[in-house]
Amino acid sequence: MAKLIVVPTPVGNLEDMTFRAIRALREADLILAEDTRTTSVLLKHYDIQNRLQSHHKFNEHKTVEQLAERIKAGETIALVSDAGTPAISDPGFLLVRACVQQGVEVE
C-alpha cells in the first residue's frame, strides 16, 4: 500500500534499529535521507539496497509536491534523518504536512 513511512534511525549504535524500521526500509520504493552518505552506512550495515535520494532543508521546498504525487501514484517512500526521528528537528516536516493535507497515509 502506498504511503509515507517516517523511520527513526539509531542515535549512535547502528544495532539499535528495530525490526520494523529495517522492514520498512527494505520494502520502500524510495528512501529519502537527510544525508545520503550517513544513511548509506546504515543501509549497507543491513544490506538494504533500495533507491536512495537526498531530502534536506536546501531542497525539500522544491520536491515536496512531486514526492506526495509519487506516493498518491502508488509508491511507498521511507523518510529518515541522520539520527533519531525525522521531522522533529530535521527535514521532513514539509513532506509530512503535505501528505496529511492531501490525504496520503503517513505511518
Structural domain spans, the chain = 3-101
Alpha carbons 60 and 10: distance in angstroms, whole number: 23
**pLDDT on residue 72:** 95
Tell me if 53 sits within 8 A of 33, measured CB to CB: yes
Provide the grid cell at 81.
534523518
Residue found under cell 509530512: 96
Tell whether domain 3-101 is in CATH 3.40.1010.10.
yes
Question: Is pTM beyond 0.85 here?
Answer: yes
**pLDDT on residue 12:** 81
Residue-wise pLDDT for 65-94, tens only, equals: 999 999 999 999 999 987 767 766 667 889
pLDDT along the chain (107 residues), means of 10: 91 89 97 93 95 90 94 96 70 90 95
Alpha carbons 17 and 93: distance in angstroms, whole number: 22
Alpha carbons 65 and 86: distance in angstroms, whole number: 18
**pLDDT on residue 9:** 87
